[in-house]
Structure 1
Amino acid sequence: MTGTPEPWQWGEATWRRHVGRVRAGRRLAPPWPDGARVAVALSFDSDHETIPLRDGETRPGLLAQGEYGARVGAPRILAALARHGVPATFFMPAVSALLHPQEARGYVEAGHEIAAHGWIHERNMLLSPADERALASRALDTLQEVTGVRPVGVRTPSWDFSDATLGIVAELGLRYDSSLMADDDCYELLADGQPTGIVELPVEWIRDDAPYFMMSRYSTLRPYTPPREVLRLWRDEFDAARADGGLFQLTMHPHIIGHRSRMVVLTELLDHMASFDDVWFATHARIAEHVGADLAAPARDA
């Protein structure tokens, strides 16, 4: 038999090695500050024009859809957050920050967190480790130059993790990642079974606006879910997280959620969450810092 073995031909050592490369370690869900029942981590991926640029699309049509996120979506989001005094985390590709430096600085000036999201929303699964490392490092340097703040966390473009990603995150000294889906609550990332000290704030497609609202003219991709149905789903996710005493993490995009009928989802969800007096609204960095303190304590039952 020649060639690369098929997965069904792998020995146990091989599939265990693949599964164990990046794994969920200790669940990190200590008591929330000030007696809060639930922690809310709102995030926005300010991709803007980088999605078409990443794919080599340079014509105005798709670029204009991305520009909407910077021109209309982001200001609406910032206004909605300001009405409730709620902090959020903005994951921004470096090219987006260079195209819209005032926006990137505005996030920080308004008390929000800016975090890394690749160089040009590149497909890191297709890169060599050297190229992935170089782009990640350049992105951090660029965001620091534009905003005056060096990011402490990362969300990989498209939530993709290559074999090299976790090592690069650790090498660059980042405190947390928000790209993986092994839990509802925060956890420590393990590399080949070894603790890394890096906190994972898990994402999920259920708690992302893109699967519900994306549209592609030349494919069958259509926004089949009415915005108010998404509101109901996300409200249920929040209510369940509050009942569990856990984390409610949400991912949105200015060029997607920022449209009028979809901003209803965000504004009414903010109204609902703010109606409770036991909710801790915090940036991803602040939550990672809080739960990360648990890493120094003896392990507890999950």
Structure 2
Amino acid sequence: MKPSEPHEWTEAEWRQRVGLVRAGRPLRPSAWPGGAKCAVALSFDSDHETSELKDGGNSIGRLSWGEYGSRVGVPRILDILRRNSIPSTFFVPAVTALLHPDEQRAVVAEGHEVGLHGWIHEFNTALPPEIERELLFRSSDALERATGVRPVGLRTPSWDVSSATIAAEKELGLLYDSSLMADEDCYEILLDGIPSGLVEIPVEWIRDDAPYFFMNRHSNLRPYTAPADVFDIFRREFELAHAAGGLFQLTMHPHVISYRSRIWILEELISTARSKGDVWFATHADVARWVLDNAEAPPAAVVAAGAPSS
């Protein structure tokens, strides 16, 4: 029988879809560590060669673009973070970790976090739930073997969250997810209306370098935003996060942001944040732990709004 079209769904059907994964209680802390007004969580998705491998591709040129991310991008980023004494989070597909184990050990040795980012940058919504779960658990084991540290957070590849993703994360015992977009500050994820215990550190395409800079000559995908304009967008996002006393989270890719004409964006953002004098730079895991322990008690009406009414 052909599945019904969306306009044919019953109210129960569309409510079930909307209500499966929702934003629960806000996890905005009353204060950040050391009296800081704003938290800055920088992250780097080390997709490397999996950007091509995930689609079954065998383009040597695009594989070399991924290799640039490891050969040039990550060392360049680590140098900037080291000079500024800033911890950050690297989300790493398991295949990337297997291709570049020394890179992951270097990242951890310098005080950064390595988080989950799928097996080969697969799309979760294209997989049966049992395969998605198996890949998540296998990826966690692979990252632990590569780094000596069990990962505590997941950023799904392409931020693609299936109906089974959150339950699998909970089963794995993760602390946080960083793939959803229901807020700008952290919140607890509701699964079928029930608090999951997972912290969401929200992402957004506005705060991601890829939509501005990605390039594929075999498609209509072309860079369309000048680096100065991208910096201005990121800066404005940071300035308002700081003014509100909230979280500024940023997603970057070593094979995208690290070119000579772009890497200054990262350095200038760090300089801008540092100039405030009251910013806490932290890994995503440290942000998740802090907000769990220090979240303000929200009004009951705010919590109730986390799930759709029935």
Post-superposition CA distance 1:90-148 (Å, at most 9, x none): 00001101111110001100000000000111111111111101110010000000100
> Matched residue of 1:260: which SS?
coil
What's 1:183 paired with?
183
* CA RMSD between the two structures: 1.2
Tell me which residue corresponds to 1:293: 293
Which residue of 2 is the match for residue 7 of structure 1? 6
The TM-score, its normalising length taken from structure 1, stands at 0.97
- Counterpart in 2 of 1:101? 101
Q: Does 1:112 align with 2:122?
A: no
Q: Deviations for 1:48-89, whole angstroms, at most 9, x for unmatched residues? A: 001111111123111000000000010110111111111100
**Does the Cα contact within 8 Å between 2:26 and 2:298 map onto a contact in 1?**
no
**Amino acid paired to 1:5:** S
Equivalent pairs counted in the alignment come to: 300
- Letter of the structure 1 residue corresponding to residue 66 of structure 2: G
| Correspondence for 1:147 | 147
1:227 paired to 2:227: yes
Q: Indicate the SS of the match to 1:141.
A: helix
Deviations 1:259-286 (A, max 9, x none): 1111011111111111121100000000
> SS of the counterpart of 2:251?
strand
Q: Which amino acid aligns with 2:219?
A: S
The Cα offsets for residues 281-302 of structure 1, whole Å up to 9 and x where unpaired, read as 000000000111247x754476
Which has the larger displacement, 111-120 or 11-20?
11-20
Letter in 1 for 2:107: Y
Equivalent pairs: percent with the same residue? 59
Q: Is contact 1:49-1:66 (8 Å) kept?
A: yes
3-state SS of paired residue (2:250):
strand
Q: Distance in 1 between matches of 2:142 and 2:168?
A: 17
Cα distance in structure 2, aligned partners of 1:205 and 1:250: 9
How far does residue 8 in structure 1 lie from its aligned partner after superposition?
1.3
1:81 aligns with 2:81: yes
Q: Could you tell me whether the CA contact under 8 Å between 1:84 and 1:274 is conserved in 2?
A: no
- Normalising by structure 2, what TM-score? 0.94
Give, in angstroms, the shift of residue 152 of structure 1. 0.3
Which whole-Å CA distance do the structure 2 matches of 1:129 and 1:29 have between them? 32
Q: Distance in 2 between matches of 1:289 and 1:154?
A: 14
**Structure 1 residues 298 and 228, CA, compared in 2 at 3 Å: closer, same or farther?**
closer
Give SS of 1:42's match: strand
In 2, the alpha carbon distance for the partners of 1:253 and 1:6 equals 37
Matches of 1:131 and 1:15, distance apart in 2: 26
Cα-to-partner distance string for 1:211-246 (whole Å, 9 max, x where unaligned) = 000011012211110001101110110000000000
> Is the contact made by 1:241 and 1:248 (CA closer than 8 Å) also made in structure 2?
yes
Structure 1 unpaired stretches of 5+: none
| Residue equivalent to 2:205 | 205
Counterpart residue identity of residue 4, structure 1: P
Question: Which runs of no fewer than 5 residues in structure 2 stay unpaired?
Answer: 303-310
